[in-house]
Chain A
Amino acid sequence: MKYLLLSYTPAAAWDAATADTPSEEALAAFAAYQKFEQELAATGEFVTSEGLGHPAVSTTVRKSPDGVVATDGPFAELKEVLASFAVIDVASHERAVEIVTRIVDVLGEPIEIRPIMGEDFTA
């Protein structure tokens, strides 16, 4: 079964002047994460993962009385914003939590696990 992992980061940290110059620790943590990702790819549990652009470069499309309108910017201004996502395909929810625990332990920022509603969930 598939899970969508949503990784959040504080908006303030993203905007900080230091955002583009990661610390030694951050680089080491990212390297450890990438190694783990390779492990998951080897077990067939890794599906995909991508980093996202700054929320400011997003566009929100919504329905209004005048028709469908596209607005620059995120749907809402939040303290914690979505920074990246991944999709994993695992045997159980417990396994998903186990994997995400390891990632959060390494990277430090919170991750939300959302089940993807596949065929096995339709009942």
Chain B
Amino acid sequence: MTPDVEHLLRTEAPQVLGALVRRFGRFDLAEDAVQEALLAASQVWPVEGVPENPRSWLIRIGYRKLVDLLRSEQARRRREQQAAAADPAMHEPARQAEPAQQTDDSLTLLLLLCCHPALSPTSQVALTLRAVGGLTTAEIAHAYGTTEPTMGTRISRAKQQLARAGARFTAPTDADRDSRVAAVTQVLYLIFNEGYTATTGDTLARVDLTREAIRLTRMLHDRLLDDPEVTGLLALMLLNEARRTARTSRDDELVPLDEQDRTQWNPDLIHEGTELIDTVWSRRQIGPYQLQAAIAAVHATAPSPEQTDWAQIAALYLWLERLTPTPPVRLSRVVAVAKAYGPARGLALLDDLNGRHGLDQEPLTRQRERAVRAHLLHMTGDMAGAATLYREAAALTDNQVEQRYLLDRAHRLS
């Protein structure tokens, strides 16, 4: 199969799936039907040429496969004399909700479906990458450092959960649309972060997942231009992605922000990201993604680490902490305050936050809390204290690149 055909199939697959699911419901079977249609295309097209309208070709074949799958399922059901009432998948309470606002956009609906509240975040992520991103089970498994059978099980379980939860695909009502979009942005952000900082394994950045997350977020942004948080998320991703090459050294070591070669930052991505956040900021419907994007924009536009407007960043983190009072955000505020007003103020704030929120106990921050405290102690001149804490931090991470970086720091101090 030529790369062109492969690319075409990958872009068309979610559209075809969306069309089938919208019309006939049954996400689980529709997904199988689309896979079969793709398989058929990969066998037929190289021989007979790509049809004039590939999408309708795929929809037609997919529809036929779906009929086959439904028929064999219905036949089996009859054979087993299984009463409809005994099968929870077949249950659906009479719909009394207000009819949802109709939209012709299958892709957005597919994204909303994959991020259905009945699914766990890991299932949402896997299903989104598979059904909307068009990645194969093997690709997703590889990206998450797990085996193909494990990922396959996770995806098919997600499809079953979806079948049990909703039985059929329905567009969200206006009332829960916002929370569903929020779930989608969270999943996209998870995918991006997994790609940006791999939690396990040897390589710091996983290019495929970051790109995939940006591609999907762009897609969502194109369709929901009026959603400020979707815009904020896209800006945030672009601004982080702009620094990707500068983030690791040639021998795969982590390079912290203030040591990065700023000439390596991608000016096009920075330009696009800052423009997006500037435009949406003026609408004054500020949310967490916009705040994080604004912080990233302050970093991205600073000519050097010394000329960074840390006071503004500290203020933005305080705002972010009010909206999302999570341990990582609190810890980031500590860093910004220390940069803006000196390590002593930073340490005092860290002690205060530890006393009230236990950042040194929280699973999400206990490792970084040590790294930050080590850095602040280092700045105040307490070399021995800093070295001990760097070692403690290193012992708490599974990411080998980060571990090497922290041990190297400790080594240089002692």
Q: Which residues of A contact B23 (CB under 8 A)?
A: 57
Q: Which residues of A contact B167 (CB under 8 A)?
A: 70
- Smallest beta-carbon distance A75→chain B, Å: 12
Q: Which residues of B contact A53 (CB under 8 A)?
A: 24, 63
Task: Using known A-B contacts A56-B71, A57-B24, determine if residue A71 contacts B84 with beta carbons closer than 8 Å.
Answer: yes
Q: Are B70 and A72 in contact, with the CB atoms below 8 A?
A: yes
Report Cα–Cα, A66/B91, bound state, in Å: 10
In the assembled complex, A73 has its CB within 8 A of some CB on chain B: yes
Identify which of B64, B74, B92, B93 contacts A73 (C-beta below 8 A). Answer: B74
Identify which of A54, A70, A77 contacts B90 (C-beta below 8 A). Answer: A70
Q: Are A57 and B66 in contact, with the CB atoms below 8 A?
A: yes
Q: Which residue on chain B has the smallest CB distance to residue A68? A: B94
Q: Are A72 and B74 in contact, with the CB atoms below 8 A?
A: yes
Q: Which residues of A contact B74 (CB under 8 A)?
A: 56, 72-73
Report Cα–Cα, A81/B70, bound state, in Å: 16
Q: Are A69 and B67 in contact, with the CB atoms below 8 A?
A: no
Q: Are B67 and A70 in contact, with the CB atoms below 8 A?
A: no
Chain B CB within 10 A, most for which of A53, A65, A70, A72: A72
In the assembled complex, A64 has its CB within 8 A of some CB on chain B: yes
Identify which of B63, B64, B90, B94 contacts A72 (C-beta below 8 A). Answer: B90
Task: Using known A-B contacts A54-B67, A56-B67, A70-B168, determine if residue A64 contacts B85 with beta carbons closer than 8 Å.
Answer: yes
Q: Which residues of chain B (57-93) have a CB below 8 Å from chain A? A: 60, 63-64, 66-67, 70-71, 73-74, 77-78, 84-85, 90-93
- Smallest beta-carbon distance A18→chain B, Å: 13
Report Cα–Cα, A69/B92, bound state, in Å: 6
Report Cα–Cα, A81/B25, bound state, in Å: 22
Q: Which residues of B contact A69 (CB under 8 A)?
A: 84-85, 90-92
- Smallest beta-carbon distance A27→chain B, Å: 17
In the assembled complex, B26 has its CB within 8 A of some CB on chain A: yes
Task: Using known A-B contacts A64-B84, A70-B168, determine if residue A57 contacts B70 with beta carbons closer than 8 Å.
Answer: yes
Q: Mark B283-295, 1 if CB is under 8 A from A, else 0.
A: 0000000000000
Identify which of B24, B78, B91 contacts A77 (C-beta below 8 A). Answer: B78
Q: Which residues of A contact B91 (CB under 8 A)?
A: 66, 69-70
In the assembled complex, A59 has its CB within 8 A of some CB on chain B: yes
In the assembled complex, A67 has its CB within 8 A of some CB on chain B: yes
In the assembled complex, A20 has its CB within 8 A of some CB on chain B: yes
Task: Using known A-B contacts A56-B71, A57-B67, determine if residue A67 contacts B78 with beta carbons closer than 8 Å.
Answer: no
Q: Which residues of B contact A71 (CB under 8 A)?
A: 84, 90
Q: Which residue on chain A has the smallest CB distance to residue B69? A: A56
Q: Are A67 and B70 in contact, with the CB atoms below 8 A?
A: no
Identify which of A54, A66, A77 contacts B85 (C-beta below 8 A). Answer: A66
Q: Which residues of chain A (58-115) have a CB below 8 Å from chain B? A: 59, 61, 64-73, 77
Report Cα–Cα, A33/B25, bound state, in Å: 33
- Smallest beta-carbon distance A62→chain B, Å: 8
Chain A CB within 10 A, most for which of B25, B66, B84: B84
Identify which of A15, A59, A65, A72 contacts B73 (C-beta below 8 A). Answer: A72
Report Cα–Cα, A64/B93, bound state, in Å: 11
Q: Are A56 and B93 in contact, with the CB atoms below 8 A?
A: no
Q: Which residues of A contact B85 (CB under 8 A)?
A: 64-66, 69
Report Cα–Cα, A64/B91, bound state, in Å: 11
Q: Which residues of B contact A72 (CB under 8 A)?
A: 25-26, 70, 73-74, 90
- Smallest beta-carbon distance B20→chain A, Å: 10
Q: Are B25 and A59 in contact, with the CB atoms below 8 A?
A: yes
Q: Are B70 and A70 in contact, with the CB atoms below 8 A?
A: no
Q: Are A67 and B90 in contact, with the CB atoms below 8 A?
A: no
Report Cα–Cα, A82/B25, bound state, in Å: 21
Q: Which residues of B contact A56 (CB under 8 A)?
A: 67, 70-71, 74
Q: Which residue on chain A has the smallest CB distance to residue B92? A: A70
Q: Mark B137-179, 1 if CB is under 8 A from A, else 0.
A: 0000000000000000000000000000001100000000000
Q: Which residues of B contact A61 (CB under 8 A)?
A: 94
Q: Which residues of B contact A64 (CB under 8 A)?
A: 84-85
Q: Which residue on chain A has the smallest CB distance to residue B61? A: A20
- Smallest beta-carbon distance A70→chain B, Å: 5
Query: Residues of B at under 8 Å CB distance from A?
Result: 23-26, 60, 63-64, 66-67, 70-71, 73-74, 77-78, 84-85, 90-94, 167-168
Apart from A57-B70, A67-B93, A70-B90: 13 A-B pairs, beta carbons within 8 A: A54-B67, A56-B70, A57-B63, A57-B66, A61-B94, A67-B94, A68-B93, A70-B92, A72-B25, A72-B70, A72-B90, A73-B70, A73-B77
**Interchain residue pairs with CB less than 8 A apart (7):** A57-B23, A66-B85, A67-B94, A68-B93, A69-B90, A69-B91, A72-B26
